[in-house]
């Protein structure tokens, strides 16, 4: 039966317009007829009058010819006209109200129709969704009538069980089940009693018979859930519910149980400890090795918490903390060694690995572990390590490099100096050819073979080695090993670089002492002619001075005009040249005096020193420096002075500080000359810091890399060619500043950006 509302008759626009026009036409015709009658009455009453006269009986206008009797005649027609007008207005109002009600009802019917269509569409969609869910679900849907017989089974029933629906419909569930045992029959009795009480049930499992069309010919295990259905009057109509085939699940569980038994037998045969614990420390699994360590059976161990079966204390707390760490982080943990006290009180050493795993029965993460007892291995390893450490300490205490090799040159032993030289540890070097780690000793392989063959040691003195671009010297001694059937050799390498450099430095020092003595002697000898030159210049100026009476007397005696002579000397710039000779002689005398002062040996003397005066003195000394190899000329270097006017005197040893600054100036000049720096410039800067007076020597030379900066103050370290420097200048300067003056000497530099050496002298005894 179609319960949908019928659509009301819809009027077309033309029909609607026509229906509205019918009353209007009738009213219009009535009005026209009434007006015609009224006009005829007026015509008969008025006669032929066409003027307007005031007769005294009332107003007369265009109707002036109509008297009161005529008005009485027209009055019924006027009332009729008013009545018709009222009827017309009422008809129009009724028509408008009728159309409004019709339109409102039409909208209501349309809305009801739309809602009904939506409900029908939702119902169809719900039916489709329910059908799709039913077909796609892993379970099937079933229905039973009030007699508890099947009336409906969804298509999934046959797909899952292989049982034909025709063999099940109109039959009760217990008619399809196997009830071979008393336990099964009791279970069915309780289930039927529950159905009789119309109670819902869940997860009822039963076994079907083999004669109901099962596809495989075997019985199946089914699990069902259901609830009773009642009509609107509360009458019982049957049951409705879902079911699933759990045959494969039960078979899998049986196989899993068998597998667990097999796994139990296997892990019990493993001599190592295998266990599983939850977050609280309860054993979930343990093999016989674990149970034996605790002095319990496996069943006793699993049934008790870890805290009960294990000795309390730090050991237990550590184990539980490791378990929680593995569980919370989700990462495995390898424990190379951990102590474990067994039930006898013996402390064992275990090597353990713990990994997290999910235990379905706990709904939480547990920890699975395997522990190996390595107590005996550890004791043996410790003894070997102790002896090895003892022997290594003996050979490491030697300052020489010791390299043990077999007859084929493969390394067997390295001491600590050899490890440092090669950058490879003893363990990593074993089995490698010694020439690969020490390529500069590769030439000694023949000496090794010869020493082993002859049974005596062989020495190679003063062997030159290149260590990261630095030339070093070494004495190499090869000792053969022939005791207890062992064969091979020990190579001893003694670094004699310092000895060679000291010997070279002593030779250089003797040369410098000789040169210093010669320079002092030359300075004394130069002082005499310089004094004569300066005195001669002074006497010449005095002899031509017109203000001296003796000069005028001698000039008059020979007929010479001293005024004209002086004008001649001025115009020919002879007096200017004479003044230049005097100034040059004065500068030379000052340089000689500075050289004599610098060359004198004196005791260390601290006192207030004018920084500007000291720096200017050092600049004069540097300007007089003469390089025998013509590599640089200090006079061509631009000197910039940036002195702090507020910092004048600092407490220091003037002679030592002059030596430090002169060394820095000469190093900067030589570095810029070797690099060919355009417009070489040295900046001298002084300044004040909270606790120090600052002196900076800055150049725009080639700069230094990080590797050079780290070693710049080491004794004998030099970047100059062999024979140019001893590598002691900066190390001595560093000693003077840091040890003698309790100050700081540092350097900042980058390749291509020059260098800045900073001297910081304490101000605590300064004088301003």
DSSP 72-138: HHHHHHHHHHHHHHHHHHHHHHHHHHHHHHHHHHHHHHHHHHHHHHHHHHHHHHHHHHHHHHHHHSS
Q: What's the pLDDT score for residue 39? A: 62
**How far is residue 199 from each of residues 142, 170, 173, measured CA to CA in Å?**
17, 21, 16
Give the Cα separation of 151 and 141 in Å (integer).
11
Q: What's the pLDDT score for residue 236? A: 93
Angle at 670 between CA 665 and CA 674, to 5 degrees: 150
Give the Cα separation of 604 and 617 in Å (integer).
19
Give the Cα separation of 310 and 286 in Å (integer).
14
Q: What's the pLDDT score for residue 483? A: 64
Q: What's the pLDDT score for residue 27? A: 57
In contact, 716 and 726? CB cutoff 8 Å: yes
- Token readout for 713 is 């103050």
Tell me the average confidence (pLDDT) per consecutive run of 10 residues in the chain, 768 residues long: 39 43 56 62 53 44 49 69 77 83 86 84 73 65 91 81 79 84 89 92 84 58 92 91 88 86 86 88 87 86 68 80 90 91 88 87 83 90 85 83 87 87 84 85 81 83 71 84 74 81 64 62 74 82 85 86 86 85 78 62 72 90 62 82 89 88 89 88 92 93 89 74 62 84 92 93 64
Q: What's the pLDDT score for residue 167? A: 79
Burial of 181 (0-12, 13-18, 19+ CB in 10 A): exposed
**How far is residue 317 from each of residues 107, 337, 672, 694, measured CA to CA in Å?**
80, 16, 69, 60
Q: What's the pLDDT score for residue 768? A: 35
What is the pTM (predicted TM-score) of this model? 0.34
In contact, 309 and 296? CB cutoff 8 Å: yes
- Token readout for 198 is 């119309």
Residue with tokens 């550590």: 318
Closest CA to 114 of 209, 42, 7: 7
List Cβ neighbours of 27 (8 Å cut-off, separation of 6 or more): 84, 87, 88, 91
């Amino acid at each position: 039966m179609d319960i949908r509302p019928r659509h009301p008759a819809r009027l077309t626009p033309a029909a609607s317009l026509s229906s509205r026009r019918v009353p209007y036409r009738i009213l219009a015709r009535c009005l026209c007829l009434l007006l015609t009658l009224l006009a005829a009455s007026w015509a008969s009453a008025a006669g032929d009058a066409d003027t307007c006269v005031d007769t005294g009986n009332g107003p007369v206008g265009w109707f002036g010819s109509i008297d009161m009797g005529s008005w009485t005649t027209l009055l019924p027609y006027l009332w009729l006209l008013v009545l018709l007008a009222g009827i017309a207005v009422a008809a129009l109002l009724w028509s408008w109200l009728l159309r409004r009600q019709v339109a409102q009802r039409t909208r209501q019917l349309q809305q009801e129709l739309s809602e009904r269509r939506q409900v029908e569409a939702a119902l169809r969609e719900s039916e489709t969704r329910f059908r799709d869910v039913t077909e796609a679900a892993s379970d099937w849907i079933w229905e039973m009538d009030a007699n508890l017989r099947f009336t409906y089974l969804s298509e999934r029933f046959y797909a899952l069980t292989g049982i034909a629906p025709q063999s099940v419909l109109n039959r009760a569930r217990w008619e399809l089940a196997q009830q071979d045992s008393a336990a099964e029959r009791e279970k069915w009795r309780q289930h039927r009693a529950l159905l009789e009480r119309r109670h819902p049930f869940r997860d009822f499992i039963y076994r079907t018979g083999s004669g109901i069309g099962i596809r495989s010919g075997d019985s199946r295990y089914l699990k069902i859930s259901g609830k009773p259905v009642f009509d609107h009057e509360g009458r019982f109509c049957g049951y409705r519910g879902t079911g699933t085939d759990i045959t494969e699940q039960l078979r899998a569980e049986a196989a899993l149980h068998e597998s667990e038994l097999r796994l139990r037998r296997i892990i019990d045969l493993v001599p190592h400890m295998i266990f599983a614990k939850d977050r609280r420390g309860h054993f979930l699994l343990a093999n016989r090795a674990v149970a034996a360590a605790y002095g319990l059976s496996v069943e006793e161990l699993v049934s008790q918490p870890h805290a009960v079966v294990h000795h309390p204390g730090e050991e237990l707390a550590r184990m539980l903390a490791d378990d929680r760490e593995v569980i919370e982080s989700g990462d495995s943990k390898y424990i190379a060694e951990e102590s474990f006290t067994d039930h006898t009180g013996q402390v064992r050493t275990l090597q353990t690995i713990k990994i997290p795993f999910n235990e379905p029965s706990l709904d939480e993460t547990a920890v699975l572990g395997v522990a190996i007892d390595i107590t005996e291995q550890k004791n043996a390893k410790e003894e070997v390590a102790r002896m090895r450490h003892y022997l290594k300490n003996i050979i490491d205490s030697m300052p020489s490099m010791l390299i043990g090799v077999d007859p084929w040159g493969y390394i067997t032993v390295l001491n600590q100096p050899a490890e440092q030289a090669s950058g490879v540890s003893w363990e990593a070097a074993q089995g490698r050819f010694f020439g690969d780690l020490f390529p500069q000793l590769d030439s000694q392989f023949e000496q090794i073979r010869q020493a082993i063959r002859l049974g005596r040691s062989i020495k190679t003195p003063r062997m030159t080695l290149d260590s990261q671009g630095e030339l070093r010297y070494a004495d190499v001694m090869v000792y053969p090993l022939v005791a207890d059937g062992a064969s091979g050799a020990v190579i001893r390498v003694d670094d004699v670089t310092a000895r060679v450099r000291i010997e070279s430095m002593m030779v250089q020092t003797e040369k410098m002492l000789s040169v210093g003595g010669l320079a002092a002697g030359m300075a004394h000898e130069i002082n005499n002619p310089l004094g004569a030159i300066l005195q001669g210049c002074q006497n010449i100026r005095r002899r031509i001075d017109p203000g001296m009476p003796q000069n005028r007397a001698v000039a008059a005696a020979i007929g010479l005009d001293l005024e004209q002579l002086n004008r001649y000397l001025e115009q020919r710039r002879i007096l200017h040249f004479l003044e230049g000779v005097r100034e040059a002689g004065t500068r030379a005398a000052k340089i000689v005096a500075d050289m004599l002062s610098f060359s004198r040996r004196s005791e260390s003397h601290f006192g207030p020193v004018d920084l500007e005066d000291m720096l200017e003195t050092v600049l004069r000394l540097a300007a007089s420096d003469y390089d025998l190899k013509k590599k640089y000329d200090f006079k061509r270097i631009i000197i910039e002075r940036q002195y702090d006017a507020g910092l004048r005197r600092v407490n220091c040893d003037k002679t030592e500080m002059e030596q430090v600054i002169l060394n820095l100036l000469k190093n900067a000049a030589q570095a810029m000359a070797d690099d060919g720096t355009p417009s070489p410039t040295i900046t001298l800067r002084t300044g004040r810091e909270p606790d120090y007076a600052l002196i900076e020597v800055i150049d725009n030379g080639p700069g230094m890399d990080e590797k050079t900066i780290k070693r710049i103050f080491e004794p004998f370290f030099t970047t100059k060619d062999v024979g140019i420097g001893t590598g002691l200048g900066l190390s001595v300067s560093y000693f003077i500043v840091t040890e003698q003056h309790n100050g700081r000497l540092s350097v900042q530099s980058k390749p291509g950006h020059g260098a800045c050496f900073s001297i910081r002298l304490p101000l605590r005894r300064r004088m301003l």
